[in-house]
Structure 1
Amino acid sequence: MKFSRTSKSRGAGSPQVTGFYDDDTGSIQYLVSDPETMKAALIDTVLTFNPESASTDTRSVDAILRYADHEGLEIVRILDTHPHADHLMASSVLKDRLGKPNGIGEKVLEIATLWRDYYNLPDAFDPERDFDCLFQDGDTFEIGSLPVQVMLSPGHTLGSITYVVGDDAAFVHDTFMQPDVGTSRADFPGGTAEDLYESLQEILHLPDETRLFIGHDYGTDYRSEPAWESTVSEQRRHNAHIGGGVSKEAFIKTRTSRDDTLALPDRMLQVLQMNLRAGRLPAPEGDDNRYLKIPLNRF
């Protein structure tokens, strides 16, 4: 893990947010906490996965848990915004270790149906077994004294969700990137640029100074270090793909043209088979080893 960075609470009703950068995948993992009660939640955590050796370890989440313990935080929820295609989710490992509920958007049920076909594994995925909470658009819950509202934000996937925490923080996953980069791809099965545009517009209707925390950053030619925090007003004015009031038609053209140039993430076909189980590895076979099934020539 290269580094972490904390966005301080602005006062009552405002969470404190620490982002932990995962070098291998450019993913940001979040620890969001309520300063009043010292309760916290983890969002989009990463179980380290080496695609060359097909091996896993818990170094990334171990470091986050040590940080939370040092800060005196009690983790009460384990949350994901969608079944990730570029990193292995740590949801199942953390649920087993901490004994706390995990959650994701309820449309993971539809995503699982889609991918059962791609993998030809008709009985493979049971999100209702592997996730304690399947959130619907508009659902609410609390992290300590902080209210959390769930927004359905499809486009990158058909079931992506945003968590709006307290008065001034939203975890917007693979919708926006940093303003100087633009937006996230929308060409995975079930995703569309049209849906992504509508999701971006809904996020832009949050209050101007809402802090937006994104899912990925890789730096740029002009910015060597990754960054992951902006505001609604910054994205509205300066986002490279949608800032300044770009029309829906122009955005779809830009996003689709960009997506046509992108390769699949190098971990996608491996990790989705586990992420649709909350990151749980396949069951051991007769030789006590675990195996993945990878579709050939389908993408």
Structure 2
Amino acid sequence: MQVHSFLHSDTETYTHVLADVKQQVCAIIDPVLDFDAKSGRTRTTSVDEVVEFVKDHGWELVYIIETHAHADHISAAIHVKETLGGQLVIGQHITEVQKIFKQIFNFDTSFRTDASQFDILTDDGDTLALGGITITAMYVPGHTRADMAYLATDDEKTVVFVGDTLFAPDVGTARCDFPGGDAKTLYQSIAKLLELPEDTMMYLCHDYPSKGRKYCPTTTVAAQKLGNIHVKDGINEAEFVEMRERRDANLEMPRLIIPAVQVNIDAGHFPKPEDNGTRYLKVPINLLGE
């Protein structure tokens, strides 16, 4: 098993490539599309580095895995799929998120809330085969209702891709104030992750390093239990919930939440072009951010 991590500097997001190098197969986890919110222009410059990396190694892309419908970046899953193939994977509870945001964006009846835009829907305990690697889905809601972590195991080691649940120990944990989020649920989900063996490597979806620390895509269960500023050993559920809700009440909405969510719940598809050939996104006025 090999894991290679690529930092998208604009959104501080990590895209990971998980590979069985012997059988020449891989998965790409949480790919990011470049998006300039000022101009509304998209580019694939960053994700193409990942695509070229896979091509250069001669690996077959089997899965494109989304840990959840992200609110801080737009998924590049469609570009990756068109370029490399692969099946698009997300947790089955994405249907709940689709229903919530269909109402928020007032999408018409043509918008599907059955998750049929995706190829594979996972539930807690489901497994995917990637050569000699077994990928096991872990349902870890709280940040949203649909978050999944993915545990990858082969004969040599086990790693876990935690999505937006835990960040580096000096950063803490994910916010829970989006529609459908819940701090108590997140605490319980994190507890499941921290039950993994202490030497388990955790691959982060984001890193927001404190001053003087370089970006790093990984941490361990042991490091989280020892030093996570929000949920280290000794912090109970009530303390976490009080801290998380107080902190979330003062956070601004993510810079890209409005374009990101409406695209990501549709598996990375932008709306169809209108009669002038241009695609448009919607902006709800005075609805989010309270």
**TM-score normalised to structure 2 length:** 0.95
**Amino acid in the other structure paired with 1:279:** G
Q: How much has 1:127 moved relative to structure 2? A: 5.3
Q: How much has 1:244 moved relative to structure 2? A: 2.0
Aligned length: 284
**Amino acid in the other structure paired with 2:48:** D
- 1:110 equivalent in structure 2: 96
Q: How much has 1:36 moved relative to structure 2? A: 2.4
Q: How much has 1:126 moved relative to structure 2? A: 4.5
- 1:155-166 matched pairs, under 5 angstroms: 155-166=142-153
**Amino acid in the other structure paired with 1:39:** V
Contact 1:127 1:277 in 2 (8 A): no
1:143 & 1:235 partners in 2: Cα distance? 28
- 1:6 equivalent in structure 2: none
Q: How much has 1:228 moved relative to structure 2? A: 2.0
- 1:67-146 matched pairs, under 5 angstroms: 67-123=53-109, 124-126=111-113, 128-146=115-133
**Amino acid in the other structure paired with 1:91:** A
Deviation digits for residues 236-274 of structure 1 (CA, Å, limit 9, x no counterpart): 111111112310001111111111111001110111111
Q: How much has 1:171 moved relative to structure 2? A: 0.3
- 1:3 equivalent in structure 2: none
- 1:188 equivalent in structure 2: 178
- 2:255 equivalent in structure 1: 266
1:258 & 1:26 partners in 2: Cα distance? 20
Contact 1:125 1:276 in 2 (8 A): no
Contact 2:176 2:183 in 1 (8 A): yes
Report the RMSD for the aligned CA atoms in angstroms.
1.2
**Amino acid in the other structure paired with 1:213:** Y
1:177 & 1:253 partners in 2: Cα distance? 19
> Is the aligned partner of 1:246 residue 2:235?
yes
2:66 & 2:137 partners in 1: Cα distance? 11
Contact 1:90 1:278 in 2 (8 A): no
Secondary structure, in 3 states, of the residue corresponding to 1:165?
A: strand
- 1:222 equivalent in structure 2: 212
- Runs (5+) with no aligned partner, structure 1: 1-14
1:147 & 1:120 partners in 2: Cα distance? 39
Which stretch of the first structure deviates more once superposed, 150-159 or 71-80?
71-80
- Runs (5+) with no aligned partner, structure 2: none
1:90 & 1:24 partners in 2: Cα distance? 14
Secondary structure, in 3 states, of the residue corresponding to 1:130?
A: coil
> Is the aligned partner of 1:276 residue 2:265?
yes
Contact 2:162 2:205 in 1 (8 A): yes
Q: How much has 1:69 moved relative to structure 2? A: 2.0
1:291 & 1:133 partners in 2: Cα distance? 28
Q: How much has 1:176 moved relative to structure 2? A: 0.6
2:108 & 2:147 partners in 1: Cα distance? 23
Secondary structure, in 3 states, of the residue corresponding to 1:250?
A: helix
Which stretch of the first structure deviates more once superposed, 121-130 or 74-83?
121-130
Secondary structure, in 3 states, of the residue corresponding to 1:245?
A: coil
**Amino acid in the other structure paired with 1:182:** G
Contact 2:99 2:113 in 1 (8 A): no
Which of 92, 114, 138 is residue 151 of structure 1 equivalent to? 138
Which of 10, 18, 21 is residue 35 of structure 1 equivalent to? 21
Which of 282, 287, 299 is residue 276 of structure 2 equivalent to? 287
1:192 & 1:157 partners in 2: Cα distance? 8
2:150 & 2:25 partners in 1: Cα distance? 16
Contact 2:32 2:74 in 1 (8 A): yes
- 2:11 equivalent in structure 1: 25
- 2:50 equivalent in structure 1: 64
